[in-house]
A and B are shown apart, each in its own frame.
Chain A
Amino acid sequence: MQLHETLNINLRRINKTIEDIVRLDRDVPSSSVISKSILALIRSGGKRLRPLMVIVGSRFGTLPTGKLQLQLAAAVEFIHASSLIHDDIIDRSDMRRGQSAMHTITGVSEAVHIGSYMSARVIELLSGYSSNKDRYIHDLSAVATAQLCLGEYEQLEHRYDYDLTLEQYLEKSRNKTAQLMATCLRVGALSTEADPELADLLYTFGEHIGMSFQIQDDLLDFTQTPDILGKPSGSDLIQGQVTLPVIYALQRPELAATIRAIHSGSTPREINEAINIIRSSGALQQTEQLSHDYLNKAQDIIDQLSSFPAYQDLQSLLDYFAGRDH
């Protein structure tokens, strides 16, 4: 059973609402490159984890989940998709979800503007919620997005930086991945007038599973085949990303020199050697353990919320994140 089915969420309706964001924009003709490119990206896949988290968050409030929550769920996926377009340009990545990345088709300048259009369109839609009690809605398009950028800055600053500390790595992961997921749950909860303290607890839950998600993502780069990943194994290392398995492997003095020798001009053979020693160093097991530690912290929060009927949805989310293999 897929996650949305377990959560009893109508994914088709969410997908339609996501597509409607561009389809119902009178300023964008349906035949335009903008519309076609965005719809192609949205239809190319994606697990819609963030929209599902908005809906799950909304189930902790005092109001029923309805149209507003559907719009917020769609908006967050639009923001996420927009960040993917810019990520691919920043990472010089030509493939996305097994297809050509948008900028390789439209041109870089055009893709930058299409990504920014998506953010601007979301702000246009959300700006209808202008009362003071709706301020939290802007967290999606402001706070979470700013944190995402800060995570990218940190990643950029630490390319091939083998002195990156565990704390710096965790901070980057929190900014880049966990905070948007956490914000989804919090915004969903506040949209149905959940108690703010409860919304904050859900935020913390989202942060924990978001951290686990990013750590797992870093792990998969070493454990999965290129076919499943849709990119070469060890891509992060090739691009100079010092991820958690690398940090742990660097703690072994006999391995450090080989890993530290990797730079932007390294040969495939040198990179493969480094990947293999990281794989056999025990670093992957340590990485897996930290991911589990975050899931355990998330589990503690679920246990605190067991009086809410929707706590089972948090359990489904956690089980999904724990069993994620690609």
Chain B
Amino acid sequence: MHTQLMNETFQLLQAECSPKAGITLDIDRTEILDTESLLNSYDLAYERKVHLLALYTILSLATSRHKDCNPSDPNLTRKVLDGDYLYSLYIQLAVQFEEIDLISYLAPHIKKWQIRGAEGHSGVQLLATCLEQFLDLEFRRDTYTTTVEQVG
């Protein structure tokens, strides 16, 4: 099933992803639908939902490309390059969408995934969980700010 949000996210990604990279956006739609539900559970502007879903999708793809890189894999070169390109595209788009706080929040998590990968462990904390924690934090902060302003 394709929702409007999903379609617009994919259009955005196709426009932003350089044709030189030739990356196929082979995305697990169930995972994206779950993330879309998560985003819909918060009071977010539609455009921001598109941005966040796009960033989530790029990060998810980047992580999967760098997973299990094996020297005998004929696609090794592409996997390494795709992962690198997608990680840098994530930062580029996050800056463009003014989601610097998201970069700051996710940075230590992404770093720890890499540490675990380098140590030979495969399990990483779900990206969706990190996104949910980020949005919870943001909403708690916004609520607090609003309350302080009203009391003040």
Q: Decide if B107 is an interface residue (CB 8 Å cutoff).
A: yes
Which listed residue (B70, B84, B101, B113) contacts A149, Cβ 8 A? Answer: B84
**A145: nearest residue on chain B (CB-CB)?**
B88
Flag if B20 contacts A117 (CB, 8 Å). Answer: no
Main secondary structure on chain B at its contact with chain A?
A: helix
**A79: nearest residue on chain B (CB-CB)?**
B88
Q: Give residues 174-204 of A contacting B (CB, 8 Å).
A: none
* Given contacts A142-B88, A150-B20, A150-B21, A113 and B117 within 8 Å (CB-CB): yes
**B84 contact set on A, CB distance < 8 A:** 83, 86, 116, 119, 145, 148-149
**B91: nearest residue on chain A (CB-CB)?**
A142
Flag if B115 contacts A27 (CB, 8 Å). Answer: yes
Flag if B115 contacts A90 (CB, 8 Å). Answer: no
Interface size in chain A (residues, C-beta < 8 A): 42
Flag if B85 contacts A130 (CB, 8 Å). Answer: no
Flag if B77 contacts A33 (CB, 8 Å). Answer: no
Q: Decide if B137 is an interface residue (CB 8 Å cutoff).
A: no
CA distance in complex: A117, B107 (Å): 10
Main secondary structure on chain A at its contact with chain B?
A: helix
Q: Decide if A45 is an interface residue (CB 8 Å cutoff).
A: no
CA distance in complex: A188, B126 (Å): 36
Flag if A124 contacts B88 (CB, 8 Å). Answer: no
Q: Decide if B69 is an interface residue (CB 8 Å cutoff).
A: yes
**A138 contact set on B, CB distance < 8 A:** 91-92, 95, 103
Q: Nearest-CB distance from B69 to chain A (Å)?
A: 4
Q: Nearest-CB distance from B126 to chain A (Å)?
A: 17
A-B pairs under 8 A by CB, number: 134
**B114 contact set on A, CB distance < 8 A:** 113-114, 116-117, 120
- Residues 247-289 of A, flagged 1 when their CB comes within 8 A of B and 0 if not, give 0000000000000000000000000000000000000000000
Flag if A152 contacts B81 (CB, 8 Å). Answer: yes
- Residues 61-87 of B, flagged 1 when their CB comes within 8 A of A and 0 if not, give 000001011110000111011011101
Q: Decide if A43 is an interface residue (CB 8 Å cutoff).
A: no
CA distance in complex: A150, B114 (Å): 23
Q: Decide if B123 is an interface residue (CB 8 Å cutoff).
A: no
Flag if B69 contacts A141 (CB, 8 Å). Answer: no
Q: Decide if A156 is an interface residue (CB 8 Å cutoff).
A: yes
Q: Give residues 93-152 of B contacting A (CB, 8 Å).
A: 95, 100-101, 103-104, 107-108, 110-120
* Given contacts A108-B70, A123-B103, A124-B107, A116 and B117 within 8 Å (CB-CB): yes
Which listed residue (B20, B21, B113, B119) contacts A32, Cβ 8 A? Answer: B119
CA distance in complex: A92, B87 (Å): 22
**B93: nearest residue on chain A (CB-CB)?**
A142
**A119 contact set on B, CB distance < 8 A:** 84, 87-88
What 5 new A-B contacts, CB under 8 Å, besides A127-B104, A143-B88? Answer: A109-B70, A117-B118, A120-B107, A123-B91, A127-B103
Binding site for B on A (CB under 8 A): 27-28, 32-34, 83, 86, 89-90, 103, 106, 108-110, 112-114, 116-117, 119-121, 123-124, 127-128, 130, 135, 138, 141-143, 145-146, 148-150, 152-154, 156-157
Q: Can you pick out 10 interface pairs between chain A and chain B where the beta carbons lie within 8 Å of each other?
A: A89-B77, A90-B76, A108-B76, A113-B117, A119-B88, A123-B111, A124-B108, A142-B88, A143-B88, A153-B85
